[in-house]
Structure formats: structure tokens, C-alpha cells
A and B are shown apart, each in its own frame.
Chain A
Amino acid sequence: MSGPDWYLQRPVAALDDLLSDRGVVERCFTAEDSALLRTSLGLDESGALDALSVVAARLALLDGRRMPAGATMVGIRWLQHRSLQAEAAIAAHCESTDSEDSKGRSRVVTQVRLTELRREGDLELADVTFTFLLPAGAGSKS
């Protein structure tokens, strides 16, 4: 299943979900994923796949949930240590902090550390840090 209707059936991530320790989340990106990435960016078959880091990080951040209504992504800091040239198995670990702004909104900063899992040894791949503003009252458990 896919599409907006499917998406709207998924549970909403509450603040507690975003702040919880989800452990290490692994994701194997396939040739199909690489093709989708290149299509989304208008790249040819030789185009770099670095942006899979951002995708992997966002998937780990939400862990199958969707952002609450009114949530706003205000920034992303993306540190890519090495180029990614082929589909890969990526492990992600999230650490989140939150604070309240003057309007009662939660400002959540989540750093996602990504490692490329390789037979010959895992390699540091990227760090992706998301900053979101959640509407007031988004702190209740899902």
C-alpha cells in the first residue's frame, strides 16, 4: 500500500516517540531505491546516492509513524563523510533533545548517526540532524 490514504492511517508520532531511544534501525537500500532516488533528483544512472543518507535518517527518525499535524521542519544539517556510490545497508541511531519556545511549541532536535554496514567492516557514513517545531500539546503519548 502507498499514497496519502495509506499514510494517514499510520500512527502519529508524539513528542515522547521522537524522544525515545529506538536503538539501532537498519535499512537495506536496493537497486530499486537507488533508481527512485535518481528519478526524484533527475540524475542519470551514474548519479551519486549520498541523499540515501537523508532518507535513511528520516525513516529512522519517524520509525513508521507520521509527523503530527502542524509540525514544521525548520532545518536539516547534513554531514556526509563519504560518497555513497551503490545501494547499501545503513544502520541509524537517533538521539533527540527538546525545548519549548515562547509560543509553547516543542523544538525537537534529532541527530541521526548513520553507518554503512559492510562485510569488510562498517564505515561512518553521515550525520543528519533534523530540527522540527511541534505544535503545543504534541507531547502526549501516542
Chain B
Amino acid sequence: MSAWTPTEEQLQAWGRLSEDYNPLHFDGEFAVRQGLDGRIVFGALALARLAAVVRESIPNQGVVIDVRFRRPMPVGEELDVDYDQETGIVHVRLHDNDLVTGTVELLHP
């Protein structure tokens, strides 16, 4: 399991790379007006972070990562990002609550 608190630099870099400047990710007041508790982390960034964790265990093999976004990931919180190689299950959690869940399948094992 790895702890991950997305930094402002990481969020800005992802926003610039993906051309996604949705204010939900950058403007706390905007996010609250949309019914959220505050800014939220990009779902695709969380997936990419999960993939980086997976790659630590499976560096060169083709993989399928399939995730569901259960709840918004709040900016400023320490998230638990985990890949269980035995079960193939991945998740992003906050205080034991699943925010993102999914599976990893190896191609041509």
C-alpha cells in the first residue's frame, strides 16, 4: 500500500497535460457550489497512479486495469493506493472508505 496526497504541482501538471481545467479540480468554492465538499482529484489521474503502483510489481507485461469510481476523491487528503498482486484487486481508500475500486488482469500470463 502506498500513501498518496496529490500535491498542487501534480494536479496542475495533470491538468495541463490532459487539458482538463475543470474547476471541480482547482476551485474549492466552485466545487462546493456543485454540491461537493471541496475540490476533487481527477479520476484518470488516480487511475494512472494505480497503474504506476501496479507497474512496480509487473513492469513489462500487458495488463487490463478496470476501475469504478465510487466516491469523489478529496484534494488535500492522504489516500491509500493499493494493489494486491495475489487477488488482482486495486483500490484507492480514504479512512477505510473505498473511493475507487477495481481489478488488474494480466495479458498473456
Q: Are A74 and B68 in contact (CB under 8 A)?
A: yes
Q: Are B44 and A54 in contact (CB under 8 A)?
A: yes
Q: Are A4 and B26 in contact (CB under 8 A)?
A: yes
Complex CA–CA separation, A97 to B27 (angstroms): 32
Chain B interface bracket (under 10, 10 to 19, 20 to 34, 35 or more): 35 or more
Which residues of chain B have C-beta atoms less than 8 A from A43's C-beta? 52
Complex CA–CA separation, A59 to B47 (angstroms): 16
B94: interface (CB < 8 Å): no
Complex CA–CA separation, A121 to B69 (angstroms): 36
Q: Are A2 and B43 in contact (CB under 8 A)?
A: no
Q: Are A55 and B18 in contact (CB under 8 A)?
A: yes
Complex CA–CA separation, A40 to B11 (angstroms): 6
Which residues of chain A have C-beta atoms less than 8 A from B49's C-beta? 41
Q: Are A2 and B66 in contact (CB under 8 A)?
A: no
Whether A40 touches B20, Cβ cut-off 8 Å, given contacts A58-B44, A82-B62, is no
Q: Which single residue of chain B is at the shortest CB-CB distance from A127?
A: B64
Whether A39 touches B13, Cβ cut-off 8 Å, given contacts A4-B26, A76-B44, is yes
Count the A residues whose beta carbon is within 8 Å of the partner chain — how many? 37
A42: interface (CB < 8 Å): yes
Complex CA–CA separation, A40 to B49 (angstroms): 9
Please tell me which one of the listed residues A36, A47, A67, A78 contacts residue B47 in the complex, with CB atoms under 8 A apart.
Answer: A78
Q: Are B18 and A78 in contact (CB under 8 A)?
A: no
Q: Are A2 and B21 in contact (CB under 8 A)?
A: yes
Q: Are A7 and B22 in contact (CB under 8 A)?
A: yes
Complex CA–CA separation, A41 to B19 (angstroms): 16
Whether A40 touches B10, Cβ cut-off 8 Å, given contacts A51-B51, A54-B48, A75-B68, is yes
Which residues of chain A have C-beta atoms less than 8 A from B18's C-beta? 55, 58-59
Q: What would 12 A/B residue contacts be, using CB atoms closer than 8 Å?
A: A7-B23, A8-B23, A36-B14, A40-B10, A41-B45, A41-B52, A42-B10, A58-B20, A59-B18, A75-B67, A76-B44, A82-B62
Query: Chain B residues in contact with chain A, CB under 8 A?
Result: 4, 9-11, 13-23, 26-27, 30, 34, 43-45, 47-49, 51-52, 55, 59-60, 62-69, 107
Query: Chain A residues in contact with chain B, CB under 8 A?
Result: 2-4, 6-8, 33, 36-37, 39-43, 47-48, 50-51, 54-55, 58-59, 66-67, 69, 72-83
Q: A58-B20, A76-B47 are in contact. List 7 more A-B contacts (CB 8 A).
A: A2-B15, A51-B52, A58-B44, A69-B34, A77-B64, A77-B67, A78-B47
